[in-house]
Amino acid sequence: MFSILTKIFIKDRDNVSDPKVREAYGTLSGAYGIFLNVVLFIIKLIAGLISKSLAITADAMNNLSDAGASIVTVLGFKLAGKKPDRDHPFGHGRFEYIAGLFVSFLILMMGFELLKSSVLSIIHPEKVTGSLISMIILVVSILVKAYMYFFNHNVSKKINSPSMEATAKDSLSDTISTFVVLVSTIIYMLDVTTLPVDGIAGLLVSAFILKNGIESIQDTINPLLGQPPEKELVDEIEKTVMAHEIAEGIHDLIVHDYGPGRRMITLHIEVNGEKNIFDIHDEIDVIEVEIGQKFNCTATIHMDPIEVDSPEIKEISELIRSIAKDIYSDLTIHDLRIVPGVTHTNVVFDLVKPHECKISDSELSKIIFDKVLAAKKNYYCVIKVEPPFV
């Protein structure tokens, strides 16, 4: 059904790199989710009132909150699709993450309310009655929520949207929680226990909702705080750059995320310092355009000239890399150059220290300084320690 709707309402629906197409997917998915959740709310509320089941009624309210969450998601996609302006030169793409964060808090609030109601139901239990109609309604609800999970998950993969994936996880949690409600209602109908099964089921449902809310917060807050790009993206960028003859190496790659489809990529390319600077600059312009088109981003490249054929550079580079690897296997260096002097020679380079390395910057610098000086008399290391961004 959703596939049919995309054919009707989304022009050029396979061109998901287009922000307008992406916005159309998010809007249509949200509107479709609103419709399905409102229908589920109505039929579950009727079933809950008929059976006097707190768990079914709570599940109905959860569907109503899901409809509200879908409204927020639609607004998020609409606002995220606004063009850059004077006050927001990088666009409004992060509105999608903010909307997802708001939805996550709504889910948490619903989970806490259900938790409180379930505890009261366990303390003061009321008799629950089941009927064939309520059973059918719950089964239909499970099937619909399972369907919503699959179409939201597929849309999330298609347009690479964390907020849509959070919506998909919410639908999956709802599927499981409604199944729990169905089981508890059947137990009541069979009259096999005197335990407050309705309240216990409500606790289980609230646990699923709270878990989903916490996971949704993590999914939406990470890109707001800043997170490393996917390894596949990093590898593909490096492969694209290194395919050009002028590139001797790449480092300081940073991917700035201003919302899905709104990236800025900056990086440094090591080039042969003996080649014509105008030719190098022209080639770097070509690489920037290629990266921009290939990854739908704005690319900025810094040129680092290095001595490619110097035996002295090669020797000292191998020595320092060997020393760094012995200290911590994932330490890397770049931008190494030699500055000769009257009394000593400075070896200037950047040292990339992984976040997991617990050795202090000053201690690392001292260890490398002393080891290089012991191996190469009068060679003083000037080290800039920096964190990785990928």
What's residue 118's pLDDT? 80
| CATH architecture entry for 2-225 | Up-down Bundle (1.20)
What's residue 129's pLDDT? 60
What's residue 299's pLDDT? 92
What's residue 1's pLDDT? 67
What's residue 128's pLDDT? 59
Class of domain 231-306: alpha beta
Domain range summary for the chain, segments of one domain joined by +: 2-225, 231-306, 311-386
What's residue 27's pLDDT? 82
d(CA 335, CA 251): 9
Of the CATH numbers 3.30.70.1350, 2.70.98.10, 3.40.605.10, 3.30.420.10, which one belongs to the domain with range 311-386? 3.30.70.1350
What's residue 341's pLDDT? 85
Task: Encode the chain in three state secondary structure.
Answer: CHHHHHHHHCCCCCCCCCHHHHHHHHHHHHHHHHHHHHHHHHHHHHHHHHHCCHHHHHHHHHHHHHHHHHHHHHHHHHHHCCCCCCCCCCCCCCHHHHHHHHHHHHHHHHHHHHHHHHHHHHHCCCCCCCCHHHHHHHHHHHHHHHHHHHHHHHHHHHHCCHHHHHHHHHHHHHHHHHHHHHHHHHHHHHCCCCCCHHHHHHHHHHHHHHHHHHHHHHHHHHHHHCCCCCHHHHHHHHHHHHCCCCCCEEEEEEEEECCCCCEEEEEEEEEECCCCHHHHHHHHHHHHHHHHHHHCEEEEEEEEEECCCCHHHHHHHHHHHHHHHHHCCCCEEEEEEEECCCCCEEEEEEEECCCCCCCCHHHHHHHHHHHHHHHCCCEEEEEEEECCCC
pTM for the complete prediction? Answer: 0.68
Per-residue pLDDT of the chain (390 residues; tens, 9 = 90+): 667 767 666 777 777 667 777 778 888 888 888 888 898 888 878 877 777 766 677 778 778 877 877 787 788 888 877 877 888 888 887 887 887 788 778 778 877 877 887 888 788 776 656 667 777 878 888 898 888 888 888 888 887 777 777 778 778 777 877 787 777 777 777 777 777 777 787 787 788 778 878 887 887 888 888 888 888 889 999 999 999 999 998 999 999 888 766 789 999 999 998 889 899 999 999 999 999 988 888 899 999 988 888 888 999 999 999 999 999 999 999 989 898 888 899 999 999 999 999 999 999 999 999 999 999 988 999 999 999 887
2-225 and 311-386 share one fold? no
